[in-house]
């Protein structure tokens, strides 16, 4: 395996973009922000699917992959749902009457 410098560039650029974008998020929304980014980082489900679903996977890979897909799915599902549940509560107008 050779050193993949392109991936390091991608990482650096994405990190700087992330820093700039997150700085603009109002502190009002820091909790939903954290649960959203947490759901996004459950993208590790991609790696987990690749390990679990490969042809003739060794038993160890299949077991660890299965746990990983489950754990990541929990994060995807609960992360997005609870973020939306929180954001629905933020309203500007006076409630009722």
Partner 1 sequence: MTVNILVQSSYILAAVLFILAIKWMNAPTSARRGVLAGELGMLLAVVGTLIRHEVVDYQWIFIAFFLGSAIGVPLAYLMPMTAVPQRTALSHAFGALAAALIGTAEYYQHTPHGFTMVALVIEVLLGFLTFTGSLMAFGKLQEILPQRPIVYRGQHVVNLSLLGLAVLIGLYLILHPEQTWLFPVFSGLALLFGVLLIIPIGGADMPTVIALLNSYAGLAASFMGFALDNYLLVIAGALDGSSGLILSIVMCKAMNRSFTNVLFGAFGQLQVKAGAAAERTYRSASPEEAASILDAARSVVIVPGYGMAVAQAQHKIRELYEMLTRRGVDVKFAIHPVAGRMPGHMNVLLAEADIPYDRLVEMDDINSEFAQTDVALIVGANDVTNPAARTDKTSPIYGMPILDVDRARTVMVIKRSMSPGFAGIDNPLYYMDKTLMLFGDAKVFVSAMVKEVQALAA
Region 54-83 residues binding partner 1, contact defined as CB under 8 A: 54-55, 57-58, 60-62, 64-83
- The distance of closest approach from Cβ of residue 22 to partner 1 in the complex, given in angstroms and rounded to an integer, is 4
What the block records as the tokens of 28 is 């009002």
Q: How many CB atoms lie within 10 A of CB 64?
A: 15
- Give the C-alpha distances (Å, rounded to integers) separating 26 from 20, 30, 37: 13, 7, 15
Q: How far is CA 86 from CA 12, 41, 71, 81, 82, in A?
A: 31, 19, 22, 9, 6
x/- mask, partner 1, residues 17-36, rule CB under 8 A, reads: xxx-xxxxxxxxxxxxxxxx
State in angstroms the smallest separation of the CB of 30 from partner 1: 3
Q: Smallest distance from the beta carbon of 77 to partner 1, in angstroms?
A: 3
CB of 12 to partner 1, least distance (A): 8
């Amino acid at each position: 395996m050779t050193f993949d410098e392109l991936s390091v560039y991608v990482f650096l650029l994405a990190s700087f973009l992330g820093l700039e974008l997150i700085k603009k998020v109002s502190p009002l929304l820091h909790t939903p922000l954290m649960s959203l980014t947490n759901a996004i980082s459950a993208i590790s489900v991609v790696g987990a699917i690749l390990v679990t679903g490969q042809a003739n996977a060794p038993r160890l890979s299949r077991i660890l992959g299965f746990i990983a897909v489950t754990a990541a799915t929990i994060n995807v599902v609960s992360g997005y749902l609870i973020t939306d549940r929180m954001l629905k509560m933020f309203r500007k107008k006076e409630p009722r009457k």
